């Protein structure tokens, strides 16, 4: 095989390439426009204007008002801020509702709330079925007068499965319960219009939509009671202390603008590429299967299990061809158990250890998809030849 130069990047749910347009937009704020937006002088003040513009662009992508956008350092900070704010707002309420398949940012925060407080807090973790879908009846039954907040991800990072957060937020609202959604994987990939919804808090992360790492947003619906997580200066309307990460905020604004422009492409061309990849792999590789609901899913994500082989080994063989993806296997995480998401779905061990997540972006091409479809069967076959369980 001729040495292949180019990286085939299909790990966009982990992080994304910073769009060239985004780099261009942020550069001036790393070089000449270094003023502090809180300063009285024009030199700083003009930087404040840039932040305002970025805020408007983020708000436009989400169908929100610019006053509802608070910049943070990452998705995790946004999640923590929202959930802890609700807990502090309603100190007498000691119950939270979430799911078994949340990102660690929410999952571990909820666990900590239980353990650090000596189980003064009770957490209901909703089950998912074999396709990764929630049971709305179970959700409805879980809501109580004691529930401080519901935190349910919009789309799952591992499988791409989309949850009906619009409906669930409405149900929470009827019960007077705050609703938070970790939309880190959904924003930029599917249309979101918050003004028509009952979502109180929404988290997003810049580096998942072609902005740099180290910037996020917490959407706080107008009128929602709020207690800051980071106390300090008056930045972000007093909702988040700390001097603004100006260049990254400007970058995120531009990235949201681009996401808006490319939303149709994401849901047509990228989706087609994903479908081609998925169908190609499932058709050519025996004992392979899709994890997650076939249609209620982000347009860019395909999580496929290859039975009787282990994910880390697959990834490192793929790495030889410079193909980048992720796995839900135990070995890749550094823990000893496979992905909590796949286990919650009841994916059998034979398949959970051999799961590979391909996540595409607008930068992927058909040639790349063809290349992966061409290389994967031999990779899986060579590892199965090593496997004591494979009787092929």
Given the complex with other proteins, which of 110 and 263 has the nearer CB atom?
Answer: 110
Instruction: Give the interface with other proteins as residue ranges (CB under 8 A).
Output: 308-313, 316-317, 320, 329-332, 334-338, 349-350, 353, 385-389
Given the complex with other proteins, which of 227 and 386 has the nearer CB atom?
Answer: 386
Tell the smallest beta-carbon distance from residue 385 to other proteins (Å). Answer: 7
Q: In this structure, what are the phi and psi dihedrals at residue 227, rounded to the nearest 5 degrees? A: -120, 125
Tell the smallest beta-carbon distance from residue 96 to other proteins (Å). Answer: 22
Is 256 one of the annotated active-site residues of the chain? no
Q: SS3 of 285, please?
A: coil
Q: Name the active-site residue from 74, 110, 256, 331.
A: 331
Among left, alpha and beta (phi > 0; psi -120 to 50; other), residue 201 is beta
Residue 277: name the closest of 354, 356, 372 by CA.
Answer: 372
Roughly how many angstroms between the first and final C-alpha of the chain, as a whole number?
A: 26
Given the complex with other proteins, which of 160 and 354 has the nearer CB atom?
Answer: 354
Report whether 217 contacts 79 (CB < 8 A). no
Tell the smallest beta-carbon distance from residue 382 to other proteins (Å). Answer: 9
Tell the smallest beta-carbon distance from residue 54 to other proteins (Å). Answer: 33
Given the complex with other proteins, which of 165 and 315 has the nearer CB atom?
Answer: 315
**Secondary structure of 203-227 in the HEC alphabet?**
EEEHHHCCCCCCCEEEEECCCCCCC
In whole angstroms, give the CA distance from residue 47 to residue 56. Answer: 14
User: 294, exposed or middle or buried, with CB in 10 Å at 0-12, 13-18, 19+?
Assistant: exposed
* Whole-number CA gyration radius for the chain: 22
In whole angstroms, give the CA distance from residue 87 to residue 149. Answer: 7
Given the complex with other proteins, which of 111 and 167 has the nearer CB atom?
Answer: 111
Catalytic machinery residues: 331
């Amino acid at each position: 095989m001729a040495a292949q130069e180019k990286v085939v990047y299909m790990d966009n749910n982990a992080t994304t390439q910073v769009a060239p347009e985004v780099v261009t937009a942020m550069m001036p704020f790393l070089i000449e426009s270094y003023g502090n937006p809180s300063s009285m002088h024009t030199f700083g003040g003009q930087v404040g204007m840039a932040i305002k513009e970025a805020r408007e662009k983020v708000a436009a992508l989400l169908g929100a008002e610019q006053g509802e956008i608070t910049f943070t350092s990452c998705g995790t900070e946004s999640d923590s801020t929202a959930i802890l704010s609700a807990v502090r707002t309603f100190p007498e309420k000691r119950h939270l509702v979430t799911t078994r398949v949340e990102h660690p940012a929410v999952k571990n925060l909820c666990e900590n709330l239980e353990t650090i407080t000596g189980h003064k807090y009770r957490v209901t973790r909703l089950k998912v079925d074999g396709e990764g879908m929630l049971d709305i009846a179970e959700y409805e039954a879980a809501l109580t007068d004691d529930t401080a907040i519901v935190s349910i991800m919009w789309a799952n990072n591992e499988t791409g499965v989309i949850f009906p957060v619009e409906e669930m937020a409405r149900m929470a609202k009827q019960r007077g319960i705050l609703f938070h959604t970790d939309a880190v994987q959904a924003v930029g990939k599917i249309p979101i219009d918050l003004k028509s919804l009952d979502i109180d808090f929404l988290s997003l992360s810049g580096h998942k939509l072609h902005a740099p790492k180290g910037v996020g947003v917490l959407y706080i619906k107008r009128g929602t009671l709020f207690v800051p997580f980071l106390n300090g200066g008056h930045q972000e309307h007093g909702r988040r202390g700390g001097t603004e990460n100006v260049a990254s905020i400007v970058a995120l604004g531009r990235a949201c603008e681009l996401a808006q422009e490319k939303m149709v492409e994401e849901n047509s061309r990228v989706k087609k590429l994903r479908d081609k990849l998925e169908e190609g792999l499932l058709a050519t590789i025996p004992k392979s299967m899709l994890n997650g609901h076939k249609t209620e899913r982000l347009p860019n994500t395909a999580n496929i299990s290859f039975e009787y082989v282990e994910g880390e080994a697959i990834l490192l063989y793929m790495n030889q061809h410079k193909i980048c993806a992720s796995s839900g296997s135990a070995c890749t995480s550094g823990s000893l158990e496979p992905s909590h998401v796949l286990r919650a779905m009841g994916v059998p061990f034979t398949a959970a250890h051999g799961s590979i997540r391909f996540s595409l972006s607008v930068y992927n091409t058909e040639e790349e998809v063809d290349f992966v479809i061409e290389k994967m069967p031999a990779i899986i076959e060579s590892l199965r030849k090593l496997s004591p369980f494979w009787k092929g």
